[in-house]
Amino acid sequence: MADYTTILSFLILTLYTQLLPGYATTFSITNNCDYTVWPGILSNAGISPLPTTGFSLQKGESKSINPPSNWAGRFWGRTFCSTDDKTGKFSCLTGDCGSGNMDCSGSGAAPPATLAEFTLSGSDGLDFYDVSLVDGYNLAMLVAPHGGSGPNCSFTGCVSDLNIQCPSELKVMSEGEANPVACKSACDAFNTPQYCCSGAYGSPDTCKPTSYSAAFKKACPRAYSYAYDDKSSTFTCGGSPDYTITFCPSPTTSQKASSSEDEGPPSTSASSSNLIMNSSMIYEGALDMSSSPSTCTNHLLSGGVTVILAFWWLWQLI
């Protein structure tokens, strides 16, 4: 005779695990650039590091990472990376973390670098995230949540090619390259309290946008442009969504990655206006991705089928 108490316990457990939404977040990192990008990852102090802290993504490649539920840290893309034949040291011209290896191993990005910053399960259980240009810019990046909830749960990023638009005093040039490889922040370029929001300028009341941060903001209205640019640049999601982080969400040809195994994108003489895809088109694409069935909905559908089959099995035993 069947142990119906055991069977009932099984059904309750199945219902609980299948119908309730999951709390595991997945970061899906995709390289849409015409060249290899080496993502770097830094966990905040006191937070367990992720299984990897640096790797390579060739054109069109993606990698998924599952962080702890309370993870906090940042992602960025490194470009112009190579390994020295004599020393074996790995280094990058932009976003280098100084570890000498592909793994950053607890080191952050050397400016300038475009940063995607996350705090999962933060205040009120919400995820907080942003794309920051406070440390400058080296390549376009888009962050899109999937399956989350809340009025401020939306895409963010910088899809414009700021290397082309970069003021001459902020440009980072590389030997042999006709175009800038990165664009410094004004703080990195001039190191004054006004641009660094330090000293007498170290508060929201005294640190205001400058002509440089205003130019960044105009090009990338959803991205952080200076230290206190909170209101329009910090996004929140409930429901533990997944996140897609995309490098080069629009075609950019102002820079390339330098590697013995990559040729990089072709050179072009087109004007900068032709090289920058309209930001609204990219944002609409992100919204289309986010409007797909949520993780929670898929959970309910698959869980419902499982529970129906389980009850059918119980009926057969009775």
pLDDT digits (tens, 9 = 90+) for 170-210: 999 988 778 899 999 999 999 999 999 999 999 999 999 99
In which domain, by residue range, is 90 found? 23-290
Q: Is 50 in contact with 96 (CB distance < 8 Å)?
A: no
Integer Cα distance of 1 and 259 in angstroms: 68
In a domain, 225, yes or no: yes
CA nearest to 112, candidates 128, 129, 130, 132: 132
pLDDT, tens digit (0-9, with 9 covering 90-100), for 57-70: 999 999 999 999 89
Identify the residue with better confidence: 2 or 197: 197
Burial of 51 (0-12, 13-18, 19+ CB in 10 A): exposed
Q: What is the CA radius of gyration of the chain?
A: 23
2 within some domain: no
What's the helix, strand, coil split of the chain in %, to 5?
25, 25, 50
In this structure, is residue 185 part of a structural domain? yes
- Would you state the pLDDT for residue 48? 87
Whether the CB-CB separation of 82 and 259 falls below 8 Å is answered with yes
Count of domains for the chain = 1
Q: Is residue 305 part of a domain?
A: no
Are 136 and 196 in contact by the 8 Å Cβ rule? The answer is: no
Is the pLDDT score of 72 beyond 90?
A: yes
**Quick one: average pLDDT of 249-277?**
40
Overall average pLDDT of the 264-290 stretch? 37
> Is residue 300 scored above 50 in pLDDT?
no
Predicted local distance difference test score (pLDDT) of residue 152: 94
* Between 312 and 44, the higher pLDDT residue: 44
Of the pLDDT bands very low, low, confident and very high (cuts 50, 70, 90), residue 150 is very high
pTM over 0.85: no
Is 8 inside a domain boundary? no
Determine contact, residues 164/179, Cβ cutoff 8 Å. yes
Domain membership of residue 150 (yes or no) is yes
What is the C-alpha to C-alpha distance for residues 89 and 91, in angstroms, rounded to an integer? 6
The confidence score (pLDDT) of residue 10 equals 41
Find the distance separating the first CA and the last CA of the chain, reported in whole Å.
9
**Residue 173 in 3-state DSSP?**
coil
Structure-block tokens of residue 11? 């059904």
Residue 110 lies in a domain: yes
Q: How far apart are CA 218 and CA 264, in angstroms?
A: 28
CATH number of the CATH domain containing 52? 2.60.110.10
Q: Where do the DSSP E strands lie in 133-195? A: 141-146, 156-158, 171-172, 182-183
The answer on pLDDT for 136 being more than 70 is yes
At 276 the pLDDT is 33
Q: Determine, yes or no, domain membership for 232.
A: yes
SS3 285: helix
CA distance 104 to 96: 9
Phi/psi-derived region of residue 176, left when phi > 0, alpha when psi is between -120 and 50, beta in every other case? left
